[in-house]
Structure 1
């Protein structure tokens, strides 16, 4: 098979699938991504050829603000199709293209490769209400926000029209897409490496700034997000901490995440949410016991989970984080928000505990209870681990399903007709 993977932050969600397919000598695998990200991905796999496109220009100053993301997506799609046409000139025509449509990269791939089967990874469909937007009254959405969110779907809808098959990692994420498309969307998660992501003792964990060490058996509360922001309940977590720290004088708190904004609006005045909620808490948070680790290497992240005596995962109704499943795979005592995407994998009292996203008091009460009686969480921890092994294991479940789907699509590839003539390809490649 000839396979093309396209993701601006390559490998992205293809970090397991691409190398698994590339490991078969009969397959030829190419990965495309944005230049800076491809530089970081060098050495990803010896049989995956990496190609990069330069970061495209964003929208012009005159573009209507609803269309900023759409114009940026068109420019990105055009950058990708230039690489696709160069591959065509070299004689490479993929049987299957695996692409994430969120940033526009999939817009024109079927025009360059009409005979290829296009498999889209559908992560999130934006809605003006009923999911993330308008969920948190502290950060209200205006009608302007709702209209802009609706327009953000334009790129995905155009790509969906060209797709031959689609996957989404959870049922809730699939169900955010319009009903007309859902029958074409299979629910297949990226998978968890349960042999690697597993409980294990931690003999020594160095705290930042030389403030000592932690080890298994210490009372440790953990919180993880890509960035510390309201979408992942950071404000609720920070507001719960004073009561927890007062009730549990030996507790240490490890917080993993950066100070940027992945989702939602940025704070005013150039601040980050960490600074805002630390200032709000004032002296009620003992910074000698609350440790902001920033973004950490994966091995450090796993040690954080393995140390955890109580792991907090909070989210708006939005994309479900990999870190939730990884925490469950590490058998963390889990306290999570009672929101729709979480309920797909966490059942309160069975494999974790659910709390009201908006209630710092309820979260604090749960944390104190879990720390006070850790033995009561043992059956839930063991069940969480079993659930990940049975539903999300990479090697036994996720990868076989994904590879089977790719092979099915490749076997359905028709003869390679309808090719863009060379003169037209040149015109397309140089147009803006």
Structure 2
């Protein structure tokens, strides 16, 4: 039996059920193996007074410190999350919170063979320190902004590289991410590519016109999915759709720049064809992506976005900016188009060229089949078992 401690500040809970669902999907499948005993430690950052007055902060405080979440045992020790400047202290605070959780698990008879950190900052730094303190092997996975955003800060970069040097193994969501990790100074010989997983049974093609009818759409439909922040480029997607006739855009997500993005959308040539759906439960995403004729993803920075693979699994091609590992996903015309210039005009041109060729949903679907969960789980198990000496 391989005893795995998964450390992740990105993990769903009753207050934020869509938070880190991609990590939950991976973790729950690993936990389902009969030869794995797994616990999740998901440190919960809580702001101090007076920043804790919002409804969400109050709800987070009421979450159980330990519970079974969708069949997996999850512990949620609290740590202090100070707005604006808290990132400087987060690795140390997360480490302290995780240590308390590990001590609790040990008192219950669970002694981990390996720590699986599912994000490099602050989780990976905290895991590396914790593993060194307790003598437990550590794996750290890089997913995107943990390298591309935090790696740009010199003080954080040094901690990331130190954690990578200390870890027993590293994972990257793509070959492109591995190259970025090496460029940051991380040891290439430790890094194993571990592609994201997609549930091919849930995310699959449907009758597109029947799927559209659920949303009251009778023409062409594009979707733009992600946090409503400027980095994700929703305003570019809106501008591109505004230049085209007969195409509706659904914008999915919430975030700090929502009002700014809405104003940009309202200034386009066809604002009535742009709808903001807010947060869509992950359970409803297969229907939405299957209804769409294409996914527009104009992000300025990514690792390997789960929504790329989920859209393709639904038979929906992707038009995306040339970032991260997009060339490992859109590696043939059936999968979509890659746009080198992040502008509304360039995206409108790529969308027009794609739609003019009447994309084949079955061909798009086939490009996603290499990202199934079975391969993801086997790769992860082999990696963690190797680190643990099994």
Q: What secondary structure is seen at the aligned counterpart in 1 of 2:198?
A: coil
Q: Choose from 92, 104, 120 the match for 2:140.
A: 120
Quick one: structure 1 residues 340 and 18, their matched pair in 2 at CA, closer, same or farther if it must change by over 3 Å? Answer: closer
Q: Does 1:191 align with 2:178?
A: no
Give the corresponding residue for 1:97: 115
Q: Does the Cα contact within 8 Å between 1:356 and 1:363 map onto a contact in 2?
A: no
Q: What secondary structure is seen at the aligned counterpart in 1 of 2:253?
A: strand
Q: Choose from 214, 217, 226 the match for 1:214.
A: 217
Whole-Å Cα distance in 2 between the matches of residues 328 and 204 of structure 1?
A: 16
Q: What secondary structure is seen at the aligned counterpart in 2 of 1:153?
A: helix
- 1:83-94 aligned within 5 A: 83-94=101-112
1:76: Cα distance to partner?
A: 1.8
1:350: Cα distance to partner?
A: 4.5
Give the corresponding residue for 2:247: 251
Q: What secondary structure is seen at the aligned counterpart in 2 of 1:55?
A: strand
Give the corresponding residue for 1:29: 38
Whole-Å Cα distance in 1 between the matches of residues 205 and 139 of structure 2?
A: 35
1:385: Cα distance to partner?
A: 1.8
CA offset digits 1:196-230 (Å, max 9, x no partner): 111112536578xxxx7236xx32122212x1233
Q: Does the Cα contact within 8 Å between 1:259 and 1:274 map onto a contact in 2?
A: no
Give the corresponding residue for 1:310: 294
CA offset digits 1:44-102 (Å, max 9, x no partner): 343x322111132438x9xxx6xx52322212221112222333344432111111331
Whole-Å Cα distance in 2 between the matches of residues 306 and 42 of structure 1?
A: 34
Q: What is the total number of aligned residue pairs between the two structures?
A: 359
TM-score (norm. length: structure 1): 0.74
Q: What secondary structure is seen at the aligned counterpart in 2 of 1:254?
A: strand
Quick one: structure 1 residues 41 and 301, their matched pair in 2 at CA, closer, same or farther if it must change by over 3 Å? Answer: farther
TM-score (norm. length: structure 2): 0.81
1:163: Cα distance to partner?
A: 1.0
Q: Does the Cα contact within 8 Å between 1:94 and 1:113 map onto a contact in 2?
A: no
Give the corresponding residue for 1:387: 367
Larger Rg: 1
Give the corresponding residue for 1:296: 280
Give the corresponding residue for 2:17: none
- 1:83-232 aligned within 5 A: 83-100=101-118, 101-104=120-123, 105-114=126-135, 116-124=136-144, 149-178=153-182, 179-201=185-207, 203=210, 213-214=216-217, 218-225=219-226, 227-232=227-232
Q: What secondary structure is seen at the aligned counterpart in 2 of 1:272?
A: helix
Q: Does the Cα contact within 8 Å between 1:259 and 1:273 map onto a contact in 2?
A: no
Whole-Å Cα distance in 1 between the matches of residues 312 and 89 of structure 2?
A: 40
Whole-Å Cα distance in 1 between the matches of residues 335 and 172 of structure 2?
A: 23
Q: Does the Cα contact within 8 Å between 1:102 and 1:155 map onto a contact in 2?
A: no
* Aligned-CA RMSD value: 3.0
Q: Does the Cα contact within 8 Å between 1:6 and 1:98 map onto a contact in 2?
A: yes
1:118: Cα distance to partner?
A: 1.0
CA offset digits 1:298-325 (Å, max 9, x no partner): 2332222111123212222432210011
Q: Does 1:9 align with 2:10?
A: yes
Q: What secondary structure is seen at the aligned counterpart in 2 of 1:183?
A: helix
Q: What secondary structure is seen at the aligned counterpart in 1 of 2:307?
A: helix
